[in-house]
């Protein structure tokens, strides 16, 4: 599985290294393309391990992908060709992002299994284990589910620094997300796991040379921009509720609420004043962050 995505993306390029596919008629943005390839990999793994379950439930992988992302086979093929030949670095980056998600889900499930194995008792232990496992999975998706381990967060053309000298955050743990000099998106992808449902994602943020952020749960929330200079919000997305609240010392609490499909990642983008999605940073300017929370919510 580790090499599946890279092989998928590079199969065309390997035939002719000088070939570069044209931009598709309907270009799928890289974050969405990552979601599609993640689902394809997941379905491939499920087919090899749980073929009977998929067959009994009449799940056809290709149709599932087309219907979920509202694309057709031509659009998917064109985009695979484009990303395969556009840049080896981009293809490798997509592979690493998806592997991060798989590893996060695997580690989380293994921990749940280990905890349950330690606690099972009596003749009905196997049955009780199954019930506890199901309950813990549900409880986990209903509570705070952001990993506090920064080493597991996916940094995209950015650097994460702990700010121990910042004193205006009431003694709370503060980190600084800094954009590097590469002309691309600058963000963090935080592995998590939520089932279909209503969620709230919030963070306290303060400008550190940059004044704009975006929050995202799965595929929801991207067009909404929070201004850390004046406490305003611009942009909108159907079904996404946004709010920004001023805090002490120039901090703002930014939050989005929305109904999302099952996902394994949340995201924070940081921006220069021009709000371009792609830009070159300077390894100095960024945004201070604290109190990241993701939880079940009733809209």
How many domains is the chain partitioned into structurally?
A: 3
Q: Are residues 127 and 193 in the same domain?
A: no
Q: Are residues 128 and 111 in the same domain?
A: yes
What is the average pLDDT across 101-105? 75
Range in 102-106, 203-207, 210-214 the model is least confident about: 102-106
Q: Burial of 135 by CB count in 10 Å (0-12 exposed, 13-18 middle, 19+ buried)?
A: exposed
pLDDT tier at 47, thresholds 50, 70, 90: low
The structure's pTM equals: 0.54
Q: Are residues 222 and 167 in the same domain?
A: yes
Using the predicted structure, report yes or no on whether residue 79 has a pLDDT greater than 50: yes
Using the predicted structure, report yes or no on whether residue 122 has a pLDDT greater than 50: no
What pLDDT does 139 receive? 39
Q: What residues make up the domain containing 41?
A: 4-95
13: left (phi over 0), alpha (psi -120 to 50) or beta: alpha
Tens digits of per-residue pLDDT, 80-98? 888 877 777 777 788 888 8
CATH number for position 224 = 2.60.120.260
Does residue 254 belong to any structural domain of this protein?
yes
Using the predicted structure, report yes or no on whether residue 202 has a pLDDT greater than 80: yes
Using the predicted structure, report yes or no on whether residue 131 has a pLDDT greater than 80: no
Q: Are residues 22 and 59 in the same domain?
A: yes
Q: Which of 262, 225, 229 is nearest to 240 (CA)?
A: 225
Does residue 101 belong to any structural domain of this protein?
no
Q: Are residues 164 and 267 in the same domain?
A: yes
Q: In 99-237, where do the E strands start and end?
A: 154-156, 158-162, 175-179, 187-194, 197-208, 212-217, 225-227, 233-234
């Amino acid at each position: 599985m580790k090499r599946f995505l890279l092989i998928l993306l590079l199969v065309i390029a390997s035939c002719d290294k000088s070939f570069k596919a044209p931009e598709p008629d309907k270009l799928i943005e890289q974050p969405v393309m990552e979601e599609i390839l993640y689902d394809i990999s997941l379905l491939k793994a499920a087919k090899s391990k749980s073929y009977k379950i998929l067959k009994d439930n009449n799940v056809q992988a290709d149709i599932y992908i087309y219907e979920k992302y509202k694309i057709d086979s031509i659009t998917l093929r064109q985009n695979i060709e484009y990303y395969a030949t556009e840049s080896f670095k981009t293809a490798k980056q997509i592979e690493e992002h998806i592997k991060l998600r798989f590893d996060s889900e695997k580690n989380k499930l293994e921990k749940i299994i280990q905890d349950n194995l330690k606690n099972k008792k009596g003749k009905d232990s196997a049955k009780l284990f199954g019930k506890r496992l199901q309950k813990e999975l549900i409880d986990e998706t209903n509570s705070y589910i952001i990993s506090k381990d920064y080493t597991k967060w996916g940094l995209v053309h950015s650097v994460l620094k702990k700010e121990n000298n910042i004193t205006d955050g009431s003694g709370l743990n503060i980190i600084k997300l800094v954009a590097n000099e590469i002309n691309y998106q600058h963000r963090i992808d935080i592995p998590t796991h939520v089932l279909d449902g209503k969620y709230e994602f919030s963070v306290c943020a303060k400008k550190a040379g940059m004044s704009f952020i975006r929050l995202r749960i799965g595929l929801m929330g991207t067009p909404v921009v929070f201004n850390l200079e004046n406490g305003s919000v611009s942009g909108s997305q159907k079904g996404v509720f946004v709010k920004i609240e001023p805090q002490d010392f120039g901090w703002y609490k930014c939050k989005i609420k929305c109904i999302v499909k099952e996902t394994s990642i949340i995201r924070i983008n940081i921006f220069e004043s021009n709000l371009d999605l792609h830009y070159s940073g300077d390894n100095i300017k960024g945004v201070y962050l604290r109190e990241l929370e993701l939880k079940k919510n009733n809209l």
